[in-house]
Structure 1
């Protein structure tokens, strides 16, 4: 608990610094929300009136302090374009991206772990070369191209999966699975390639340790030595890579969401940037940063469960 509290306290200055950066950078982008909303034929008087209505006529410092005080009260503001609560917009979009990110990681784990273990155990043999070749191909192929290919093959050509609009899992699990299967596969292949390479390298090192040789000398069988002794010790760097992948996926699935018409969190952020929707950009960026911090904290806490040697006097060593 002490470690968790300390880590949560350190997030406060990080989020504060990030809020300043996001607020400053979004105002440096050319363009005015009022001009975009009113169109090219808008008069200067109408633009100034809308600026005053949205509070954009005040100095930047005053705008930032007002927004920050609202955030501290749990209010992320109102969208300048949709005129809806930013918190509500995020709550509508975030579950889609979280589901896509989790589905992607499930696909990645199901592919990477069997191939990575086989590649490490069969180091230097044909199975190792095949697995590493597959990993190289997986890293090289862009997820959006793979997504388009999947759509053409499984939807247009063979009609195996219908290209239906997104349906929440709590409304219709089967239709949700149908519309999320191809996006998860398209993005999961690349993430699987990254995990596979990391797992193979880490497991090869673990299999060369003294405790593994001792287990072999005691007569333990191969699968038991690999899965019960070597694999847990090889998971720490894999967990680090996986945690960074999950954090990156939450904001990096914009193209995949666009290809498969998924109303996700990343798409909301990009649309807000193009429409100069300052409050939505600031709110989504802040929430994304908080999610990344919490994911990293969860990964650090998992380290001691995987490897109890990772300790300090006051908690865990990140």
Structure 2
């Protein structure tokens, strides 16, 4: 009987032990990273700027599991149009630190606000968010509407909340949910990445970079912290605030997206009837890199052209 108890205890402890012994993100591991680093109030944030120094600023916020490299195709296109682009790794991902605690709207607002202060960016800028980054961008724009010129959401979270039994258990069941997240999520994410890699138009560099996130301590807990934080509730109040403050909003959807379905646009339209919607046919969730040209065309038609645009200069 004692052996059965020991085996059971080992099985229970295994996911926590495995997470504890994963390598930590450190200065040594950041040596190969492009861009720069900022020591902010919540820890180190990795960021990268590109494009003409005097171009209008576009800040891009990535999603739940894929760090800032997900923006590479779109950033190049925006640079070619004359925009200056700032991308950064959300805390818990990429080359940024992995602080503990719930990752709610205030958490993500603090990181972006600190980064802008570090870079001495005071002028209003355009803000683009992808997937969970759409919810992060929405939260920031609703809190600081005078700082955001135009908001673009790509396959954005914040309208509908995942309600599968597993997601509810992981989100709501404390330590038991944490155990299941640590035990099951790496397998689920790897399976999804390999399915994407097998697609005819796969972007292998993105798949490799996303899979590498699982090697480091703090990544899976960060995903859980976001599920229990900013992804826990719909962002009705924030979108109504954006509507009241007349922040121009473009929402881009993939017609075949099975992560955040295009039907979410109906909910957003109820909250903000002035939002502009564009649907890309035959597109899934990976819009920022598999449909970068089409997404860029919609963004270019929505943002003011850089020529003669003096709003993007810092003051």
TM-score category (smaller protein): under 0.3
- Indicate the structure (1 or 2) with the bigger Cα radius of gyration: 1
Structure with the largest fraction of strand:
2
Q: Normalized against structure 2, the TM-score is what? A: 0.21
